[in-house]
Amino acid sequence: MESNAQAAVTVSQKPEPPVKAVKRRRPGLFRLGDEIPRSAYTAIAAASFIIPLIAWFVCSARGWVSPLILPMPMAVVEAFHRLWANGTLLPDIQISVYRISMGFLLSAVLAIPMGIFMGAYKSVEAAHEPFVGFIRYVPVPALIPLVMVIAGLDEPAKILLIFLGTYFQMVLIVADVTRQVPRDLINAARTLGAKRWQLLFSVLVPATLPGLLDTCRTMIGWAWTYLVIAEVVAANTGLGYRILKAQRFLRTDEIFVGILTLGILGLLTDLAFKLLQPRLLPWAEVNKN
């Protein structure tokens, strides 16, 4: 018995094997779902602009592409300076931004409430989604003759075209965002005694705000896309008009000025929405992390 007890004590006193330290994984550039260092992100983002610019300069400088198709970067810079100095470019930018703003705001003011109601109530969805789903597949350029008959040739026609290009897409996306709100959240509020309008305005709407802001960020990009189409309608100002006018006279440098200006303005609006979200909805950023 004593020998067995001593053996048991000996076994119990054996040192446990050392626990191997778990190596902390370093973030990889191509590891699925991993974050990357901020410096790497900035370098990659900068390279995405610098590399095409270098390729553009090399191709045009060596004459690999005709200047009629791809002008030199300096020629585009000179065209930008010329259009700015003669007072042409700034008014075009201002009127284009005005048209985008009015068309997008009109679309958002109408589409967001309708999308929320469609996502919240099946009866509203049944009444509107089939028609909206039909109209959104109609190409906007096909509506130009009808828009000219309804709204004429002035600013309302251009704003209406931007509205038509964004409203029907936005309302369906907003409805999908509303449907993604967890039912448990609504059921919990109902259990605590929330009334119908409290469920809608105090529970459902706040829960959709992050998705709504993302939707607006996406749809403002669509609005810029439809700007050129809108400015075809008997326009004599705007960046889209400036591009079309330069095309008639084969001024490729001015075409590039218009395209690059549209791209920069679109990028600025996208960055504005991206920076706006953590300031308006800080709790949504915490939940993401």
The C-alpha atoms of residue 113 and residue 125 are separated, in whole angstroms, by: 12
- Residue 4's pLDDT band, with cuts at 50, 70 and 90, is low
pLDDT of residue 189: 83
Whether residues 51 and 113 share a domain: the answer is no
Q: For residues 173-182, give the mean pLDDT.
A: 91
What is the number of domains present in the chain? 2
The C-alpha atoms of residue 60 and residue 259 are separated, in whole angstroms, by: 18
The answer to whether residues 173 and 180 touch, using CB atoms and an 8 Å cutoff, is no
Give 210-262 pLDDT, tens digit per residue. 889 989 988 998 898 888 888 877 678 899 889 988 888 889 999 999 999 99
Residue ranges with strand state E in 56-205? none
pLDDT of residue 280: 79
Whether residues 79 and 60 share a domain: the answer is no
**Which of the listed ranges 109-113, 121-125, 278-282 does the model predict with the highest average pLDDT?**
109-113
Q: How many CB atoms lie within 10 A of CB 144?
A: 17
Q: Is the pLDDT of residue 146 over 90?
A: no
SS3 call for 112: helix
Which residues, at least 6 apart from 105, have a Cβ–Cβ distance to it below 8 Å? none
The C-alpha atoms of residue 238 and residue 216 are separated, in whole angstroms, by: 23
Whether residues 52 and 176 share a domain: the answer is no
- The CATH code of the domain that includes 94 is 1.10.3720.10
Whether residues 149 and 58 share a domain: the answer is no
- Chain-centroid distance, C-alpha 265: 13
The C-alpha atoms of residue 95 and residue 159 are separated, in whole angstroms, by: 11
Which residues, at least 6 apart from 14, have a Cβ–Cβ distance to it below 8 Å? none
Joined tokens for residue 194: 């929330």
Domain that holds residue 47: 37-70
The residue ranking higher by pLDDT, 116 or 229, is 116
Whether residues 192 and 251 share a domain: the answer is yes
Joined tokens for residue 139: 């190409």
Whether residues 183 and 284 share a domain: the answer is yes
- Residue 143's pLDDT band, with cuts at 50, 70 and 90, is confident
The C-alpha atoms of residue 277 and residue 206 are separated, in whole angstroms, by: 14
Whether residues 195 and 249 share a domain: the answer is yes
Whether residues 178 and 138 share a domain: the answer is yes
Give 178-217 pLDDT, tens digit per residue. 999 888 888 888 888 878 888 888 888 888 988 899 899 8
- Supply the DSSP symbol for 141: G
pLDDT of residue 36: 78
pLDDT of residue 8: 47
Q: For residues 38-44, give the mean pLDDT.
A: 85
